[in-house]
Amino acid sequence: MVTTKKIARTTAKILSDLEFKLTRTQSLPISVAQVSISFINDREMRKLNTVYRGKDKTTDVLSFSQIEGATLIDPPSLGDVVISLDTAERQAHEYKVSLARETLRLLVHGLLHLCGFDHERVSARRMRQMQKMEDYLFALHAPEADRWRLE
């Protein structure tokens, strides 16, 4: 299994790159870079998705922001990213990519949600902004994910 240190290092780098890109356009307190990342199965993800989103089905990634709507300048944590490894495995097979790369894509997606990006309740322009940022961060960090040993 991948070491948590490798995921932690990659997460810190992603947040640092995201903060650098956003300082020109937005003010987000992501320099604290404290994030919880959990890997669970589809059964547990379905429970979370039902409770928090009212959708009785599994999903690939959920994010629980600690800064959404916050007035704090430096909150102690950005929030939590929860990834279903069962779904990540299926999607990796479907997209013909490694599990590590699919997991990285989900991690980047979840981190963007923690920083205020959205793709569901926003304009097409804002959706494109999130996708562009996701593509940029994924391409930048895919070589790191290739060194993860996910089994």
Is 30 inside a domain boundary? yes
In a 3-state reduction of DSSP, which class is residue 55?
coil
Domain total of the chain: 1
Is 151 inside a domain boundary? no
Is 110 inside a domain boundary? yes
Token pair 């995921």 is found at: 7
Is 150 inside a domain boundary? no
Token pair 């991690």 is found at: 107
Is 122 inside a domain boundary? yes
Q: Which structural domain, as residue segments, surrounds residue 103? A: 4-145
DSSP for residue 25: T
- What does the pLDDT look like over 12-66, one tens digit per residue? 888 877 776 665 445 555 555 578 899 999 999 999 999 999 999 999 999 998 7
Is 65 inside a domain boundary? yes
Query: Is residue 92 within 8 Å of residue 99, measured between CB atoms?
Result: yes
Which residues of 48-148 form beta strands (DSSP E)?
Answer: 61-65, 79-84
DSSP for residue 35: E
C-alpha of 114 from chain center: 8
pTM of the predicted structure, to 2 decimals: 0.82
- What does the pLDDT look like over 84-110, one tens digit per residue? 999 999 999 999 999 999 999 999 999
Considering Cα of 92, then 97, then 100, then 105, what sign does the dihedral take?
Answer: negative
Question: Which H/E stretch holds residue 45?
Answer: helix 42-53
CATH number at residue 128: 3.40.390.30
Is 31 inside a domain boundary? yes
First to last CA, the chain: 6
